[in-house]
Amino acid sequence: MKKLEARHFAFLGLFLVVTLTMLLNIKLDMKASPYTQALYNYIEFLPEGSTLIVSFDHEASSLPEIRPIATAVLRHAFRKKHKLIGVSLLAEGTLIGYRLMRETAGEHGAEYGTDYVYLGFRPQYIAAILAMGESIEKTYPQDYLGNPYGQFELLKGVQNYDDIAAVVSIADGSLTTHWIEYGQARYGVRVVGAVTAAMVTTYDPYLASGQMYAMMGGLRGAAEYEKLIGKDGGGARGMLAQSSAHIYVILLIVLGNIAYFSSRRTKGSG
């Protein structure tokens, strides 16, 4: 049998810590960060009925983290009666995006075609972003369900980004960067992000420079947003597990340093 190494114990410890905290039912008190608050304020104070593109730029793998993030933003947008156009730049995000939109729309009595439309997936994300800047209808002649673009009340008068208040990119990778580099830089569309925790620091420079207008990051951002909209969506529960994992990693770092310095002392004295 393979000999167990220190890292195997580290794995086991993390598994136990996260599993045990998931079983606990503790509510963490969250205070919204300025970033999350900025996104909330943007959607809250947009004139009612503004049109937003919600882009599901993620794969199926990040669903546990993406679901609370996306649900929080969609709930807020539907509650404020904004018109939503759903798209996806990654094939795997397509069905997830459709389901999330349908679920949250159902909660708020929003109707397909009048309050929201789902256009679905287009390959080659850079080409798709650029093409929508010229004409959304030519990029998506039909919606996800195969209905012609011109059939929908919501889409009448929506030609390109000039008719869109902002693009909300829900991403687990760097696709939001492409929205900024091509959609924002080339066509001037406002980009806001709702991204996984691992990607938060990637977007900091864009946020500081104003190229990205606002951002919600990770389960923490989702938990904060849930508190702001007053509706639980799983973010707070996930945040508990994440916080415990962070504390566990801090302990590992401390342990690693103790081991390092004690081995140095042993070598020094030997």
Partner 1 sequence: MALPSWFNAETLATLLASIISILIVVYTTYYRRKDREFRVRTISGLSAVEDAIGRATEMARPVLYTPGWGGDIQRPTTIASMNILSHVAEKTAGYDCRLVYPTHDPVIMAVAQEVVKESYTRVGFPDRYRSDDISYVSSSQFGYAAAVDGLISRLKPASIFLLGTFEAESLILAETGNSINAIQIAGTDSTIQLSFFIVACDYTLIGEEVFAASGYLSGDRSILASVKAQDIMKVLIALFVLAAVVWSTVETLAGQSLSEWWVF
Partner 2 sequence: MGRKFPLAVCFLFGVVMFIQYFSQSTAARNLNQTILDYWQIVFAFTLIVGVFSFFKNNVTHISRGADRPYRVVGLIGFCSMPILALIWGIKADTPFMWMFENVQAPMQSTVFALLAFFVASASFRGFRARSLPAAVLLISALLMLLSRSNIGGYFSSGLPEVANWVRDYPSMAARRAILIGIGLGSLTTSLRVIIGIERTWLGGEK
Q: Which residues here bind partner 1, judged by CB under 8 A? A: 7, 59, 61, 92, 172-174, 188, 198-199, 201-202
Q: Which of 37, 42, 54, 69 is nearest to 115 (CA)?
A: 54
257 counts as binding partner 2 under rule CB under 8 A: yes
266 counts as binding partner 2 under rule CB under 8 A: no
242 counts as binding partner 2 under rule CB under 8 A: yes
Residue 267 interacting entry, from partner 2, partner 1, none, C-beta within 5 to 8 Å by type: none
**DSSP string computed for 48-61:** TT-EEEEEEE--GG
> Applying CB under 8 A, which of residues 151, 205, 262, 265 lies at the interface with partner 2?
205
Cβ proximity of 53 and 80 under 8 Å: no
Residue 46 interacting entry, from partner 2, partner 1, none, C-beta within 5 to 8 Å by type: none
| End-to-end CA separation in angstroms for the chain | 33
# of chain residues touching partner 2 (CB under 8 A): 54
Output the CA torsion sign for 118, 123, 127, 129: positive
Cβ proximity to partner 1, 135 vs 151, nearer residue: 135
Give the range of 43-51, 70-78, 79-87, 128-136 binding partner 2 by CB under 8 A: 128-136
Cβ proximity to partner 1, 16 vs 127, nearer residue: 127
7 counts as binding partner 2 under rule CB under 8 A: yes
Q: How far is CA 148 from CA 58, 113, 202, in A?
A: 26, 11, 37
243 counts as binding partner 2 under rule CB under 8 A: yes
Beta bridge mates, 118: 86
Cβ contacts of residue 69 below 8 Å, gap of 6+? 170, 194, 195, 196, 216, 218, 219, 221, 222, 225, 235
- DSSP-derived letter for residue 30 is -
Contact track, partner 2, 45-74, x by CB under 8 A:
--------------xxxxxx----------
Q: Which of 73, 101, 116 is nearest to 226 (CA)?
A: 73
Strand ranges for the chain from DSSP E: 51-57, 83-88, 116-121, 166-171, 191-195, 214-217
**Residues at the site binding partner 2, with contacts judged by CB under 8 A:** 6-7, 10-11, 13-15, 18, 28, 30-31, 59-64, 92, 95, 99, 122-124, 127-128, 130-131, 134-135, 138, 186, 197-198, 201, 204-205, 208, 220, 239, 242-243, 245-250, 252-253, 255-257, 260-261
